[in-house]
Structure 1
Amino acid sequence: MNQQLTNKQILLATRPVGMPTEQNFEFKEIPVAEAQDGQVVVRTLYLSVDPYMRGRMSDAKSYIPPYNLNEVIVGGIVGEIVESNSDLFKAGDKVIGMLGWQLYNTVDAMTLRQIDESIAPVSAYLSVLGLTGLTAYFGLLDIGQPKEGETVVVSGAAGSVGMFVGQIAKIMGARVVGIAGTNEKCDYLKNELGFDAAINYKTTDNIGAALEQACPNGVDVYFDNVGGEISDAVMNLLNDYARIPLCGAISSYNRTDGDMGPRILTKMIKTRSLMKGFVLGDYADRQLEGLQELGKWLSEGKLKYEETIVDGFDNAIDAFLQLFQGANIGKMLVKVSDAEK
């Protein structure tokens, strides 16, 4: 390893209150650590920015420990092995793992998984063949269980999870209605991904009326990425025995007022609906199953994916903040470097 290599990191400096700002983060430079026995050095190619990271910036109790202050932020990263002191990998191998937001990660080789560039580009392993594709797969099929002819509604439908939920629901024979925040996104859902209808919640005067028009036979499955007033409106259209996978609530992640809303208990009882929160870690022992199915659908042309790529490690914080402005179609990624030829 070149001893002159300098590593650049992004640390959490302070815990955000409300919407995060660049002042909550700090850039730091340190030497790149050499690989010890069983370790490898990974050069970051792409890093993933995801809404769930906002929750880890708070110290409130959650399903995953919070980030520590003055430590490197951790997320999904695809990288290239540049130094190996392990029999598992050699220099040039492409890998994926939960790694630090830094130019280089020196880690135990056992924490990484090799990826196959012949199946899809490396960036796809952070979307359709990664966390977001798997989240859509298990949340929809295990909890939502869509049946042919049923109506599936997806909020945040043009996002990195929602776009796959809708496509998988179509594969299952369902009618799919997406909710998104721009006309461009709605057009993409209908014209590129095959959604049956799409609603722009930002330009719709009455989201409830728009949903009722788009879902004349009610809602059988609601895949919720957003929460808030949109979800309140969907609850009025639930059919008997509806299923509601709760994946995210991005509308409330930066709120400081408690996010009060209508009480839905009566509606849930009357319709005998199932609502269940989940995280991908619940399906850790089934990820190979999900990857095989997603890979099969991808190779058959049944799944499309879109990426919004921000170029440059120094722009990672800006890319993260853009998530809460709805700037992305599909997966938001930061391209840090190119692979060696």
Structure 2
Amino acid sequence: MCRSSAITIKNRRVFIKQRPDGMPTIDDFGIENVNIEDVPAGHVVAKVDTLSMDAWIRTTLNEEGMHRTGDIGSTIRALGVGQVVESRSDDLAIGDWVYGLMSAQTYAVLPAGAATKIVPEDGIAPSAFAGPLGITTGLTAWVGLVAVGEVQENDVVVVSGAAGAVGTVVVQLAKARGARVIGIAGGPEKCSYLTEKMGADVAIDYKNNDVSSALKAAAPEGANVFFDNVGGEILDNVLDNLAAAEARIVICGAISQYQHLADVRGPKLYLRLAERNASMRGFVVSHHEARYPEAIQEISELLKTGQLALPEHVVEGIDRFAEALFMLFNGAHVGNLVVRP
């Protein structure tokens, strides 16, 4: 049953103060307290529990970007999980857990139709929907690897940005499906994380090794699937080390390019695709919504059986949202970066 709209909730939010010039700085963000005093019919208020820090957030700060640009003064968009504290909808009740566009704030006013109800399961916390079961993390990993990359048993799978949230899930999904997995990450700590904790067969440290040579040594017959989160030079390195026939390159993102979207640097070695009868395909996870139930079922089973885990790197406090965003681009986190307001 829906509640009255006569409420006052103190909300703290992070907003776009000005457009970044290159890498964002703290001066590009503003923080303020505002009151939520009215809930429109058909809407709910959710207390934000966990925000997923995803690379696409950076692109919304640009005047023109890959994702819808945020207006100056608008709350920075971010997906996350929260619990309903007020409701003017018959579809959601106080106490329900929901997933949706919570944005960088402590409370979110959402249309009930834009909030996906979460039914917690034993052994799976609601916050998993801002991680291994989230659209921008676990479902993105599954769609890219399975629906787009068509991974097969005994494939050699290479993953860039492998120690990040999406990469970590891709590594484990590929292993669970019987592939040999090579993860590319920056620094010895992240490489140890991949091989010792996430099950990667090989980890290549792009900061301290020649990636192309290391790939040749790790996969003499080349890669069958490349799940790319980085773009740039690493994409060329893998193009030069594709399997002899019908390799699949999956373009999930290009975090190396997000600071200069007006001058994106594409691959120089794209002719390797023709030489090896290979394919390169980008994807948007929402175009594969019909397969979400299949993805959720597989990931949930792997979570319950302990075959898949996604360690969280937690940043506490909404005032540190910008700091957490910077971590995505300076390599200061491992696993699933989240903010707990």
* Residues 17-36 of structure 1: pairs in structure 2 closer than 5 A: 17-36=21-40
Asked if the contact 2:142–2:170 (Cα under 8 Å) also holds between the matched residues in 1, the reply is yes
The 10-residue stretch of structure 1 (297-306 or 254-263) with the greater mean CA deviation from structure 2: 254-263
1:185-232, CA deviations, whole angstroms, 9 ceiling, x for partnerless residues? 11111111111100111111x221111111122111110001111111
Structure 2 vs 1, CA of residues 261 and 104 (structure 1 numbering), >3 Å: closer, same or farther?
closer
* Residues 31-110 of structure 1: pairs in structure 2 closer than 5 A: 31-60=35-64, 62=66, 64-110=67-113
Asked if the contact 1:176–1:196 (Cα under 8 Å) also holds between the matched residues in 2, the reply is yes
Q: Does 1:246 align with 2:251?
A: yes
Q: Which amino acid aligns with 2:313?
A: T
Tell me the distance in 1 between the aligned counterparts of 2:190 and 2:320: 24
Q: 2:115 maps to which residue? A: 112
Q: Which amino acid aligns with 1:95?
A: V
Q: Determine what percentage of the aligned residue pairs are the same residue.
A: 38
Q: Does 1:286 align with 2:291?
A: yes
Q: Does 1:139 align with 2:152?
A: no
Aligned match for 1:214, one of 214, 218, 229: 218
* Residues 227-266 of structure 1: pairs in structure 2 closer than 5 A: 227-239=231-243, 240-255=245-260, 258-260=263-265, 263-266=268-271
Q: Does 1:127 align with 2:142?
A: no
Query: How far apart are residue 257 of structure 1 and its match?
Result: 8.5
Q: Does 1:187 align with 2:196?
A: no
1:278-305, CA deviations, whole angstroms, 9 ceiling, x for partnerless residues? 1211112322222122112211222111
The 10-residue stretch of structure 1 (284-293 or 145-154) with the greater mean CA deviation from structure 2: 284-293
Asked if the contact 2:239–2:270 (Cα under 8 Å) also holds between the matched residues in 1, the reply is no
SS of the residue corresponding to residue 337 of structure 2 reads strand
Asked if the contact 1:149–1:174 (Cα under 8 Å) also holds between the matched residues in 2, the reply is yes
1:215-250, CA deviations, whole angstroms, 9 ceiling, x for partnerless residues? 122111110001111111111111111000100111
Tell me the distance in 2 between the aligned counterparts of 1:257 and 1:210: 32
Tell me the distance in 1 between the aligned counterparts of 2:57 and 2:132: 19
Asked if the contact 1:155–1:179 (Cα under 8 Å) also holds between the matched residues in 2, the reply is yes
Q: Does 1:167 align with 2:172?
A: yes
Query: How far apart are residue 61 of structure 1 and its match?
Result: 5.1
Q: Which amino acid aligns with 1:67?
A: G
Structure 2 vs 1, CA of residues 238 and 333 (structure 1 numbering), >3 Å: closer, same or farther?
same
Asked if the contact 2:144–2:250 (Cα under 8 Å) also holds between the matched residues in 1, the reply is yes
Query: How far apart are residue 33 of structure 1 and its match?
Result: 3.1
Aligned match for 1:13, one of 14, 17, 32: 17
Tell me the distance in 2 between the aligned counterparts of 1:11 and 1:96: 21
Q: Does 1:308 align with 2:313?
A: yes
In structure 1, the gaps of 5 or more residues are 337-341
Asked if the contact 1:18–1:256 (Cα under 8 Å) also holds between the matched residues in 2, the reply is no
In structure 2, the gaps of 5 or more residues are none
Q: Does 1:323 align with 2:298?
A: no
Q: Which amino acid aligns with 1:215?
A: A
SS of the residue corresponding to residue 81 of structure 1 reads strand
Asked if the contact 2:14–2:318 (Cα under 8 Å) also holds between the matched residues in 1, the reply is no
Query: How far apart are residue 14 of structure 1 and its match?
Result: 1.5
Asked if the contact 2:99–2:115 (Cα under 8 Å) also holds between the matched residues in 1, the reply is yes
Asked if the contact 1:41–1:83 (Cα under 8 Å) also holds between the matched residues in 2, the reply is yes
Q: 1:339 maps to which residue? A: none
1:8-47, CA deviations, whole angstroms, 9 ceiling, x for partnerless residues? 1111122212101111111122211332322211111111
TM score, norm. by length of structure 1: 0.93
Q: Give the number of aligned pairs.
A: 334
Tell me the distance in 1 between the aligned counterparts of 2:13 and 2:241: 47
Q: Does 1:267 align with 2:272?
A: yes
Q: Which amino acid aligns with 2:111?
A: D
TM score, norm. by length of structure 2: 0.93
Tell me the distance in 1 between the aligned counterparts of 2:254 and 2:43: 37
Aligned match for 2:230, one of 195, 205, 226: 226
SS of the residue corresponding to residue 9 of structure 1 reads strand
Q: Does 1:196 align with 2:218?
A: no
SS of the residue corresponding to residue 248 of structure 1 reads coil
